[in-house]
Structure 1
């Protein structure tokens, strides 16, 4: 089966959006997934919503290569941030032709978090964007049940749940529970592998998530089982490999990521490993 893949920004975080489009085109991706807001205080971000020259250059490269934008991240709403903060991000997403917005709710006040998610969905609707809720296991929205409760409560047609195979595994979520959820909630997935042993500290969980994920088939997550529980959709390959990045270019890491994904999902992983070692 021919799957559609997106190059996630976290996989090549210091690479500019212009370079990302070129890399995606060269290595066979259908989409790119841009990060336009910083998650950490020290993280470099390419804020296209504030850089007209770069925005125009990215749009030109998208048009020239045929690569499209799958999703934009990240609308993260802790206690101090209202959804209206992200209007410029929604506008940029629409200008780029993106389909989805990635959101997180690290807020212990569930009523407030749910209200804000619904308002973000309403803000995104005129731009024909879905808003997909991601649930890192160390946040206040820590598992599939918590994310599903929010999406069910807001009851917006453009609301969805974002399954990241790493977070799904670290939350010890159930494939059986995943199968019970409405298929229309799922628009794309973030996909990676990782060691089977789950870190016991928040620091360990974050380190794996941000810096040392595995290519598909090289860890211990049942990636195929998770994906088989959802409809067919594009897969954003979010696979940061900071150690590998010390010696391997962003383009080559992106290439290895998509080749491994293709091999794994088509049952050819053993052959891929043999060719890679040769």
Structure 2
């Protein structure tokens, strides 16, 4: 069975959910992701929880094209986390038929973060959603070690860890740790590439992650080894924002190039088309 491929919202952040569905359909993706809540106050997001006309249009485009919504972004668990604020988000996710929610851990007090993450998992379960904790090198959940500890201590059946290729590499997480992730915690992974030389400041890490990613095979991340360690049928979210190249090529050409490069890498590893170190 081949993995499915989803067009991540960050790859085309300025496109609304209906436009994301249409772009995914035109360029050969199975699914798409949508960002319902911003990464920071004032940042781009499409709150389908309150924008009912856009929600109806999104559902109509899904019905017309056959492209499904795979993941939702994002729920940030900070020190002031209140579960009730996110219930409309979860209800909208269920209406969209989504399967996964990207969760960011932004509370430096780990015990409190684990408690809130467990509460979120429990709330998501009736909606058929997984809570996929993403580790990044700058917030409190800064590496795979941290994510393994938090998801393990929460011990919820719909808990999960999201492996983003760029963050895995930049956080200095180790390939050997991937075997420690229970298969049931892996619901999807995000693919992209980046320069071999890692940024040295938080500001540069964030800038590279949000607007300077490379197509798989163009950079220095060992994607072949990473996908060799991940389950062969794991759904793949293609998250490759690159502001300069999208401006030059346009969203459609960039999305096509991203899917072609991701498929070549993932399926090449799966079929052992090239050796893995």
Q: TM-score, normalised by structure 1?
A: 0.93
The superposition leaves residues 122-174 of structure 1 with CA deviations (integer Å, 9 ceiling, x where unpaired) of: 11011011111001110111000101111100110000001001111011111
The superposition leaves residues 72-126 of structure 1 with CA deviations (integer Å, 9 ceiling, x where unpaired) of: 0100112223233211111111000000111011111101101010000011011
Aligned position for 1:241: 242
Give yes or no for the alignment of 1:59 onto 2:59.
yes
Partner Cα distance (1:142, 1:57) in 2: 37
Aligned position for 1:273: none
Aligned pairs for 1:121-136 within 5 A: 121-136=121-136
Q: How far apart are residue 44 of structure 1 and its match?
A: 2.0
Give yes or no for the alignment of 1:45 onto 2:45.
yes
Aligned position for 2:227: 227
Q: How far apart are residue 230 of structure 1 and its match?
A: 2.0
Partner Cα distance (1:235, 1:245) in 2: 21
Q: Is the 8 A contact 1:151 1:160 kept in 2?
A: yes
Secondary structure class of the residue paired with 1:207:
helix
Partner Cα distance (2:67, 2:25) in 1: 6
Q: How far apart are residue 266 of structure 1 and its match?
A: 3.5
Partner Cα distance (2:171, 2:196) in 1: 13
Q: Is the 8 A contact 1:159 1:185 kept in 2?
A: yes
Q: Is the 8 A contact 1:191 1:235 kept in 2?
A: yes
Secondary structure class of the residue paired with 2:72:
strand
Secondary structure class of the residue paired with 1:160:
strand
The number of residues matched between the two structures is: 268
Aligned position for 2:118: 118
Aligned position for 1:74: 74
Secondary structure class of the residue paired with 1:180:
coil
Supply the RMSD in Å over aligned alpha carbons: 1.3
Partner Cα distance (2:138, 2:162) in 1: 16
Aligned position for 1:106: 106
Partner Cα distance (1:266, 1:130) in 2: 25
Q: Is the 8 A contact 2:81 2:116 kept in 1?
A: no
Aligned position for 1:272: none
Partner Cα distance (1:146, 1:246) in 2: 36
Partner Cα distance (2:118, 2:2) in 1: 34
Unaligned runs of 5+ in 2: 270-277
Aligned pairs for 1:80-95 within 5 A: 80-95=80-95
Larger deviation: 83-92 or 186-195?
A: 83-92
Q: Is the 8 A contact 1:216 1:260 kept in 2?
A: yes
Q: Is the 8 A contact 2:227 2:266 kept in 1?
A: no
Secondary structure class of the residue paired with 1:48:
coil
Partner Cα distance (2:71, 2:239) in 1: 12
Q: Is the 8 A contact 1:103 1:131 kept in 2?
A: yes
